[in-house]
Structure 1
Amino acid sequence: MIQGSSASLFVQVVEEGSFSAAARVLGVAPSSVARQIRQLEDGLGTRLFQRTTRKQSLSEAGELYYQHAKRAVEELEAARAAISRLSGTPSGVLTVTAEPDLATALIAPLLPGFLADHPDIKVKLQFSSALEDLVEGRIDVAIRMGQLKDSSLIARKIFDSRSQLYASPGYLEAHGAPSHPAELAGHQCLSFRPDAQKVVWRFQTQQGECAVPVAGRVQANGLAFLKSLAVSGCGIVMIPEWAVAQELRSRMLVPVLAGFAAIPASTPVFAVYSARRHLEPKTRAFAGHLANEMSGRRAGQLGSG
């Protein structure tokens, strides 16, 4: 017989890779996890893990037990979700994936309010820049930027993100502030696309679209890294307003060419979930919370350059 709490703990240990990693996720001491696993082994009359001084792996019995335990845990979670849907009360573990910059700048500030409003929900956040398979990865919600191509996914638009150029006051004092996008060709421009052989920033002007090939000594695929360089006076960066809110308030960064809108004008940000899960209250509650919180905010766009 597979007992729910013991099976769930065992599966957690296997999937997290160690007792200590599972303990961190569960918020308990590693000794507590080890004790409960020993009790489970004693009850089964067999060792589930092969332990050495350097590593821990599943025994043959552990492999067999894991296959059955995982199915049992999934069935229990499905039962809890069904009851939750029946009662209408959001509950359970909500697994969310998002790009690190997006998660840090947007989700983290909004999460305390969500947790306070929904005390029966636990959130597991996975940082990833890849387009994870939501079904295979058992992910409830993915926060993604840009137009979606997979029609099998359900999406709720959270907000439109817009780009703006920024630089430190020190950089502008030393190199001068450009008055027209064409002048960016003579500046150090910090690009978000290190894989592009040629980076072009596009702007809307009174004369029409202005495409400016830009160059700089540094390119990177991390917004936090580029922002730090801009603050240090290394150049002009195209970055979302939501990523530099604190720096704008402290005037560590200031807008550049604010009168010229970047092209494209905006990039949509979505909460995405698979069709088979879209009715779960915890998923609807999270997507709704993000959309409501962002609806009154002015959002910037992930830099396209």
Structure 2
Amino acid sequence: MSKINEFSAMQVFVRVVRDGSFSAAARTLGSTPSGVSRQMSQLEAELGILLFQRTTRTQRLTEGGQLYFRHAEKVLSEIDTTKHMLSQLSKRPSGVVKLSAEADFATVCLAPLLAEFLRLYPDISVQIHMSSDLVDLVAGEMDLAIRLGHLEDSSLNARKLGEGQSVVCASPEYLARNGSIHHPTALEEHNCLSFKVRAGRRIWTFKEGNNILSVNVEGNVQANSVSLLRALAIDSVGVVMVPEWAVKDALVNNQLVALLSQYPLEPAGLPIHAVFAHGRQLPAKVRVLVDYLVNKMSMLQADTFI
């Protein structure tokens, strides 16, 4: 017996199992029941096992047939995925990417990066939805979202972009007027502007040696905008705890002064992820954007940007 094309026979075998019979598979494949049966007999001879228990009216998978089916499905699925990926390599990425991101992060971090990305991929355009709320990617028809903080939704695929370190800071003028801050507990005597809008205690947490130190802070402004807190701190209204990426330029220009560096914040920062819906085949336009952000932000992380 001549050697069969096992890959072709595997495809026919999977079709038989999915359709439930030789005749149904033959109709799907545009073949004949006898032709399908002959291929299955050749495959069984090649493998050295029975795949089906046959009667005059039905055929049922043997234990070996069940095992072969599970592996055959995986093989065919992986081949389809590889073919899709290879076809994408030959195409120039194009189309619209719908991206959701927190407004401050989009303005400070994404905007400078997107300018270069759009020059590299002129056939891609980006629609950015800026919101402080978590957007449902499927309901919102978003391709991608940038999430700050620990992820809670396990149904999403994610790639880590970086780690947003936090810093406590104030303006030199504020410190000259209200006194220096050398220990976290001194914050209790200062006007601390918080990233919070809900009622309740506001607590900033630090590490002091092996101990965790929780400090109750009070202030006359609570807001869910990092940019607003940054502006108020520069205007000497109070002390803020914000992501370093939001105030790096102000620290470099001495508009703000980093405080309590010998008492690390707990946690020191929050992860930044690109997330996309589970189970979706990532289109080339989205994949190249995610790859670009991962690469660029890892470089910026090394430069203490985030």
Query: In structure 2, what residue type is equivalent to 1:128?
Result: S
Checking the alignment, whether the CA contact within 8 Å between 2:248 and 2:305 is kept in structure 1 is no
Provide the residue aligned with 1:131 in structure 2: 134
Of 102, 106, 110, which residue of structure 2 is paired with 1:107?
110
Of 155, 171, 176, which residue of structure 1 is paired with 2:174?
171
Report the Cα offset of residue 219 of structure 1.
1.1
Query: In structure 1, what residue type is equivalent to 2:113?
Result: L
Structure 2 stretches lacking a partner, 5+ long: 1-83
Distance 1:175 1:231, change over 3 A: same
Distance 1:300 1:265, change over 3 A: farther
Provide the residue aligned with 1:145 in structure 2: 148
Match runs of 1:1-305 below 5 Å: 85=88, 87-206=90-209, 208-298=211-301
Give identity over the alignment, percent: 43
TM score, norm. by length of structure 2 = 0.68
Query: In structure 2, what residue type is equivalent to 1:180?
Result: H
Report the Cα offset of residue 83 of structure 1.
11
Distance 2:135 2:86 in 1: 28
Report the Cα offset of residue 84 of structure 1.
7.3
1:125-145 alpha-carbon deviations (Å, 9 max, x no partner)? 111122212122221110001
Structure 1 stretches lacking a partner, 5+ long: 1-80
Checking the alignment, whether the CA contact within 8 Å between 2:148 and 2:271 is kept in structure 1 is yes
Report the Cα offset of residue 207 of structure 1.
5.1
What is the DSSP-based 3-state SS (H/G/I as helix, E as strand, rest coil) of the residue aligned with 2:145?
strand
1:102-151 alpha-carbon deviations (Å, 9 max, x no partner)? 11111001111111111110111111122212122221110001222222
Distance 1:84 1:158 in 2: 27
Report the Cα offset of residue 90 of structure 1.
1.7
| Pair member with larger Rg | 2
Moved over 6 A (4+): 81-84
Distance 2:91 2:278 in 1: 18
Query: In structure 2, what residue type is equivalent to 1:254?
Result: V
What is the DSSP-based 3-state SS (H/G/I as helix, E as strand, rest coil) of the residue aligned with 2:300?
coil
Report the Cα offset of residue 191 of structure 1.
0.5
CA RMSD of aligned residues (A): 2.0
Report the Cα offset of residue 297 of structure 1.
2.2
TM score, norm. by length of structure 1 = 0.68
1:16-47 alpha-carbon deviations (Å, 9 max, x no partner)? xxxxxxxxxxxxxxxxxxxxxxxxxxxxxxxx
Distance 1:269 1:237 in 2: 21
Query: In structure 1, what residue type is equivalent to 2:146?
Result: I
Provide the residue aligned with 2:48 in structure 1: none
Checking the alignment, whether the CA contact within 8 Å between 2:104 and 2:227 is kept in structure 1 is yes
